[in-house]
Structure 1
Amino acid sequence: MPLDALRPTPLVEQAIDRLRAQIAQGEWPVGTKLPSENALAQALGVGRSTVREALRALAAGGLVQPRQGAGVFVIATTPTEDWPTRLRQAALTDVYEVRMMVEVEAAHLAARRRTDDDLTALRAAMDGRRAAAAGTHAEFVDADIALHTAVIAAAHNPVLTALFTEFAPVLRKGLITLLELVDLRSHTPNHGEQAHAALVRAIEDGDAERAGAVLRDELTETLGQLLAM
């Protein structure tokens, strides 16, 4: 199928879409070398800089690979999903199972590594969670996640922190939905108060095993509720 000239704007996005479609349709099979930048620019009716940007985007998506001195070659017909996209599309229960693995270990580390500043932050987050019990489901979930974020921070592991940051938006959406469907807070607005207070006390006491066990039990209960939805 021949390439048609593109509309004036937005050129880079159009070039990416057109080239991606050509690759998906088998115009250039895997292992094939793409036409030169000049040839692509002429076919699309754009400048070489636009083609260059489009090829960079396709390379980032795992569709093509530039080879020094040889050109740009097709290496896949479907783009590789990035981590945030994969998280957004994953089942919440799958995300939650991984969350348990991450957070239980984080609780162990937090109990061993927490500083005075960490304890101050944990107590403030616990107070914030209690105060949010009078608010909406969204406000309560935000306060709950803030407390868990404080536990992660107390572990002093930047990889754990980055991983939980990626999880947080997916967890937030799922937990709000859970509260709306199950209405766990109709009789207990501060749902999970005892478990979270016990978690903070275990970290304060430096008891890694108790901190991990408390958090595992709390997350296991929530996972069970998610599986029952």
Structure 2
Amino acid sequence: MSDVLRKEVLVGLSPVAGGSTVDAVLEQLQAQVSGGLWALGARIPAETELAGRLGVSRPAVREAIRALTHVGVLEVRRGDGTYVRSTADPRPLLRRVARASARDFFELQLAYDVQAARLAARRRTAADLARLEDLLRARDEATEADAFGAADAAFHLGVAEASGNPVLIEAMRFFIDRLRESVRDVRLDGEVPEAGPAAHRAVLDAIAAGDPEAAASAAAAVVEPTLAVLETLVPREPVP
């Protein structure tokens, strides 16, 4: 890209100040698309250029791009760059997701985990099982709340990845940060039970045994006790 074109595609972007860095970056990237500065089919600037222009880290830019990719606004083409795929504005949807409660996310996790475990039991490979063993061990060894939330989310995502269903995998990746936060919050709240190592081991054992229904039942047993308590603690609000 020439220097002239590079300057043109960076017009409209300004340094991020305060608040949630990823959310602020996402807002600016979406504004570039909605405002027509990045046209449909155009390649957007590289992460390093965006990070420099916005005054943020590359991981913050990467997370914002990932979010816009999951909702279909951007498309990452490996070895080529990131392109504008749609000019639709997903921010109302993302705001609704951001306002969702822990109960909402555990309900979602129940639906995803049950089907992911069922499919993983049918399709898992030896490599999948070895990786799930590593992820489960990391979960069992985590003690600090943030580390535990990350390790727990990684195991659940690993089960989804073993399912071999690309749509399910991408959906889990999209929601994984909020699922991780929900697990962390539950661990910090003494009133809400969390599934222990034995319950998660039962999921992996059923997947390894190639028993889809046992895997689905074990996955449900991981989430349902927590969800039952959240139903009594978290008020249900009408869907807008």
Instruction: State the 1:105 CA deviation.
Output: 0.6
Instruction: State the 1:147 CA deviation.
Output: 1.1
Q: Does 1:89 align with 2:99?
A: yes
Instruction: State the 1:139 CA deviation.
Output: 1.3
Q: Secondary structure at the match of 1:56?
A: coil
Partner deviation per Cα, 1:162-220 (whole Å, 9 max, x = no partner): 111111111111221222122769xxxx9511110111000000000000001112111
Q: Secondary structure at the match of 1:12?
A: coil
For the residues of structure 2 that align with 1:91 and 1:218, how far apart are their CA atoms? 19
Do 1:184 and 1:191's aligned partners in 2 also have CA atoms closer than 8 Å? no
Q: Does 1:143 align with 2:151?
A: yes
TM-score (norm 2): 0.58
Do 1:203 and 1:211's aligned partners in 2 also have CA atoms closer than 8 Å? yes
Which residue does the alignment assign to 2:112? Answer: 102
Pick the aligned partner of 1:115 from 122, 125, 132.
125
For the residues of structure 1 that align with 2:222 and 2:34, how far apart are their CA atoms? 47
Q: Does 1:205 align with 2:182?
A: no
Which residue does the alignment assign to 2:54? Answer: none
For the residues of structure 2 that align with 1:170 and 1:182, how far apart are their CA atoms? 20
Root-mean-square deviation (Å): 3.0
Name the % identity: 30
Pick the aligned partner of 1:55 from 35, 40, 43.
35
**How many residue pairs get matched?**
160
Q: Of the two, which has the highest radius of gyration?
A: 1
Q: Structure 1 residue runs of 4+, over 2 Å off?
A: 10-14, 51-57, 79-86, 225-229
Q: Secondary structure at the match of 1:130?
A: helix
**TM alignment of 1:3-42, pairs within 5 A:** 12=12
Q: Does 1:167 align with 2:171?
A: no
Query: Which runs of no fewer than 5 residues in structure 1 stay unpaired?
Result: 1-9, 15-50, 61-78
Q: Secondary structure at the match of 2:172?
A: helix
TM-score (norm 1): 0.61
Instruction: State the 1:84 CA deviation.
Output: 3.7
Which residue does the alignment assign to 1:70? Answer: none
